[in-house]
Structure 1
Amino acid sequence: MALIDSRPAYRQRLSDHFQKSAAFDPITSVSSVRDFKNILGRNKYDVVLCGLKPAQEAVQILLNELQSRSIATKIVLLAPLDQKKSIFQGLCFGATAFMPEQLPLPIMEQKLSFHMQDNYWLNPELARLMLRYFSGRGLQAPEALHILSDTEINLLEMVSEGACQRRVAEEQKAESRHIKTLVRGIFQKLHSTHRQKIN
């Protein structure tokens, strides 16, 4: 695991907690994206926790570099919930999840363990942002929404209206595992579509 955040006290709090868990050993803790890149070398990390305090442009560069090295790396943004625009930009550039930075650490650990098993999650606000992005308002392309399947669009619409993934599975008469696969696929399409857009 790697921790990147410019606030020493907050970073130390995270490091102290996760060092107690065998699932996240060893811990690399740095204050900036530049410092992390200096020690990155050929090292690989199963999960990188990154606060939004470092410059947004530097975070985007880091996300691209990590994703190009290993698609298995999970990159999780830690941010205040009111920074919706920056959070979504980070997700577009390759972050695989985000969590509120003040989330209780035991819950944060549970969610990270869940995410490391290749599980992804959505909330109503994120689902709405994804629908807006793929509708063409984000991509400026009339065919953009067709990147998603009808099933994926329906899933996002249901979540945007407040349905949890379990309820989506019940209404679509699908296994929970299938819904998880759909959500993961939506994130992958978001990443690949955004890379094509900026290249």
Structure 2
Amino acid sequence: MTVPSGTRPAGTGRLVTGVAWALLLLGLWLWGREVTEGPGGSSAPTTGDIAAVGRPLGVALPPARDPLAAVEPRRVEIPSLGIAAPVVSRGLDDTGAIDPPPFAMPHTVGWFGPGTRPGAAGAALLVGHVDTESRPAVFYGLSAARPGAKVLVTRTDGSVAEFTVDDVQVFPREHFDPTRVYGARDPHRAELRLITCGGTFDRAAGTYTANVVVSAYLTGSTPSAT
């Protein structure tokens, strides 16, 4: 999948300045190239190279709820798409790129661990492969998400953060806007970005032509049973 260069997702109080900030921006871009240049064996579902599903008229979305305490994610589910997968924290590799789940774990979602924890204030980033050389991967159907759909993130304390999708877009690589993708639209809200490849696979270039970006915000939660 692809994640071009971008603004660092809002963190949990960590300060990244100077060289560290520049390295992280570079890392996001490098990670996108590295993962995009993977197998690409299946055709990724897409709504088009330049598309913005946005918020259809008549879709009533619930109000945002206050952010939760910062707790790491363990599992993500999108019931309407049949997606249910474990979540693992990923950081940066030796080259400064985000280290995604390996292709040997195609049905695992990566969370950018140095950034926001899902449910806390800011924009948390979840990334997943769209395919492998021979089969669909965890986020193969992500482009079919629509505003109003629920995204459930089970956290390590047993609580469940419930997000509601409010925007689905496909960004061509050449028009990728990191501020819109990685930046929180409202810094006081808990937001979520789910990202995978989109468009078509360009075999000559060894890359997909776009990124599917699903945005969601916190609308509910279930406390831990303990």
**Structure with max Cα Rg:** 1
Higher RCO, 1 vs 2 (CA within 8 Å, ≥6 residues apart): 2
Instruction: Kindly indicate which of the two structures has a greater share of residues assigned to strand.
Output: 2
Query: Larger % of helix: which?
Result: 1
Q: TM-score, normalised by structure 1?
A: 0.27
**TM-score, normalised relative to structure 2:** 0.24
